[in-house]
Amino acid sequence: MAKPKSYLINYHYRYFLSLLIFTCTCSARQLPRQPSEFNECQLDSIDALEPDNRIQSEAGLTEIWDANHHPELRCAGVSVLKRTINTNGLHLPSYVAYPELHFVEQGTGVLGMAIPGCAETYEEPQWEKGGRPQLQQDRHQKVRYLKQGDLIAIPPGVPYWTYNYGDTPLIIITLLDTSNKLNQLDRIPRRFYLAGNPETEHQEKQSGRKHGEEEKEKEESNNMFSGFDSRFLGQVLKVKESIIKKLQSPDEEHRKHQIIQVKGGLSIIRPPLEPEIRSEEAKTHREHHGEKKVEEEEVEEDEPGKREHRKWRKETRKHREGEGEGEEEEVVEEKETKTKERSSHHGERETRHGERREAEEEEVKEEKQSRTRTREHEGQRGNFLEETVCTLKLHENIADPSRADVFNPRAGRINTVNSLTLPVLKSLHLSAQWVNLYKDGIFVPHWNMNANSVLYVTRGRGWVQVVNNEGKSVFKGEVKRGKLLAVPQNFAVAEQAGNEGLEYIVFKTNDRAEISTMIGRDSAISATPAEVLGHVFGLSPQEVNELKNNRNEGVLATPDSRIHDGYIAMV
């Protein structure tokens, strides 16, 4: 019996409806997470923000700007924190589910990551001493030096730790891009600690739980090891029960702190800094001129752990010379050191060192050729993981004056780091801009065409104005060091420095963030035909000519002394 026509229509309608629902569901899972509230970026006002929460630790302080408390941060889909690490302070290893961008505002230190699949390339020498084999020496992944002005990209899910070996506090400003498409969780910032039991930086909104249950769970929560069964960990790690207990329940002295104090300093394997190399060259120069030899162990140390590191390097050189082996990196380092030593000697020593340098360069060249021949013979094409991910550049000094992208001797300079200068940012969809405005310098009105931005002031004072799509001024006021200002995409913004100048870092939620200026050279005004400007603004040809040509400076400008001399007065 044939089916009625109405039945077939209903059948096909139900089929296509089911297909449509399935397609929409799959698409929603693939797209980046959208704002949870409608009109979340319809902002009538923006504030210069102070931290909402402060967490005091044993060796530092963490300050948090929480997006849950500020609609402009929710609109940008980010949160921000400022971490101050005191001398010999160690921030515990942790990871997050979204990309982070760190800016070093002050101080020096080291940062270590545990990138999955990468080899431990920093290792102590392993050889027999006194006829007996030593215990297996430590090895770990690369550590990176931090200094003022550095920008560091942290991929999601990668554990990292930070240590301050300097004499001044290490201050790091961190952007948490919780709305990034790499984050498959919600927008609530979550930090996963591998050690300790630190206080939570961002409080989650828990539903369906009583207050007592939340407090009990908070007290019982520890690090990621504490959630696993202790007997299971013992079988997996093959260590004593006492070690498992320390992993799951750390020392009471440190269990509540994000940043702990390392008594006596932290001694880790790391390459020497340039001052350390120069110090060794000076010592060698003195020895060659017959002065009294000074043992490295007796040299006064300014930095914790430097003495042990120099001792390790000395033993490594002796061992390498004894066995006639060494890594290419160590050979090149020693070659550079000896080249610098040669410049401090005179007469016949220069000739000997020159011959030695040529011999070393030839040795390095032969070693490279030998490795190439070996790979070709064995049909190998290299370890692509090690040559791409594990050696990926993850930081750049954004505040270096010599690498300014925009410079006006009277107004200031702008440095930009994006996926062109730091390729890892392409996968993280982030970039940054460093702006240093001189006294009365102006960053002309502009907008970010494809990114939200977060501005943090690191020095000086200045005046900022932000205008929304309705032509309303949503922020107009003074900013100073420590203030945070979020500027949504396409909102126009302008900055001017005060008498002290103004320096600030701008985090942007696009790896190729672009700006468009309203006035000046190469701006929206200059790119528009004069007749069009005359009609839309009701200007005479002479007025249009003045509008287009009186301001020939670029994005950085100086005030017009005929109108106002110096810093713009706020009203």
Three state DSSP letters for 120-133: CCEECCCCEECCEE
C-beta atoms surrounding 53 within 10 Å:
16
CA–CA gap between residue 391 and residue 403 (Å, rounded): 23
Worst-scoring range by mean pLDDT, 141-150, 250-259, 274-283?
A: 274-283
Does residue 269 form part of some domain?
Answer: no
More confident residue, 227 or 74: 74
C-beta atoms surrounding 548 within 10 Å:
18
Helix-helix angle 328-344:348-378, to 10 degrees: 170
Look up tokens 């923006």; give the residue: 46
Does residue 181 form part of some domain?
Answer: yes
Q: Quick check: 49 pLDDT over 90?
A: yes
SS3 content of the chain, % helix, strand, coil (to 5): 30, 25, 45
CA–CA gap between residue 162 and residue 174 (Å, rounded): 13
Where a domain ends, among 358, 381, 404? 381
Tens digits of per-residue pLDDT, 150-171?
Answer: 999 999 999 999 999 999 999 9
Q: Please provide the average confidence, as pLDDT, over all residues in the chain.
A: 76
For residue 476, list its beta bridge partners.
465
Does residue 119 form part of some domain?
Answer: yes
Q: What is the CA radius of gyration of the chain?
A: 30
For residue 176, list its beta bridge partners.
79, 100
321 and 377 within one domain: yes
525 and 468 within one domain: yes
Model confidence, pTM:
0.72
CA–CA gap between residue 297 and residue 188 (Å, rounded): 50
Q: Most confidently modeled of 318-327, 333-342, 442-451?
A: 442-451
Does residue 567 form part of some domain?
Answer: no
CA–CA gap between residue 284 and residue 353 (Å, rounded): 13
User: Residue 235 has what pLDDT?
Assistant: 79
Q: Most confidently modeled of 93-102, 335-344, 517-526?
A: 93-102
Tens digits of per-residue pLDDT, 169-220?
Answer: 999 999 999 999 998 988 888 888 888 777 777 665 544 444 455 444 444 5
Does residue 1 form part of some domain?
Answer: no
Give how many domains the chain has, as a whole number: 3
User: Residue 357 has what pLDDT?
Assistant: 61
Q: Quick check: 130 pLDDT over 90?
A: no
417 and 295 within one domain: no
Where a domain ends, among 381, 409, 443? 381
Q: Quick check: 36 pLDDT over 50?
A: no
List the domain range (segments joined by +) for residue 438.
Answer: 395-557
377 and 423 within one domain: no
486 and 451 within one domain: yes
User: Residue 484 has what pLDDT?
Assistant: 97
102 and 240 within one domain: yes
CA–CA gap between residue 118 and residue 361 (Å, rounded): 29
User: Residue 216 has what pLDDT?
Assistant: 47
User: Residue 255 has what pLDDT?
Assistant: 62
Does residue 23 form part of some domain?
Answer: no
Does residue 22 form part of some domain?
Answer: no
287 and 223 within one domain: no
422 and 357 within one domain: no
Closest CA to 173 of 84, 246, 58: 84
Q: Give the percent of the chain with pLDDT over 90.
A: 41
Worst-scoring range by mean pLDDT, 36-45, 62-71, 88-97?
A: 36-45
User: Residue 33 has what pLDDT?
Assistant: 43
373 and 288 within one domain: yes
Tens digits of per-residue pLDDT, 365-381?
Answer: 665 555 555 444 444 44
250 and 223 within one domain: yes
111 and 253 within one domain: yes
288 and 239 within one domain: no
Does residue 38 form part of some domain?
Answer: no
User: Residue 376 has what pLDDT?
Assistant: 47
* Domain CATH number, residue 228: 2.60.120.10
Where a domain ends, among 315, 347, 381? 381
Q: Quick check: 325 pLDDT over 80?
A: no
Worst-scoring range by mean pLDDT, 184-188, 433-437, 551-555?
A: 551-555
Worst-scoring range by mean pLDDT, 135-139, 231-235, 508-512?
A: 135-139
Tokens of 486: 């979020």
More confident residue, 368 or 426: 426
Q: Quick check: 126 pLDDT over 70?
A: no
User: Residue 16 has what pLDDT?
Assistant: 47
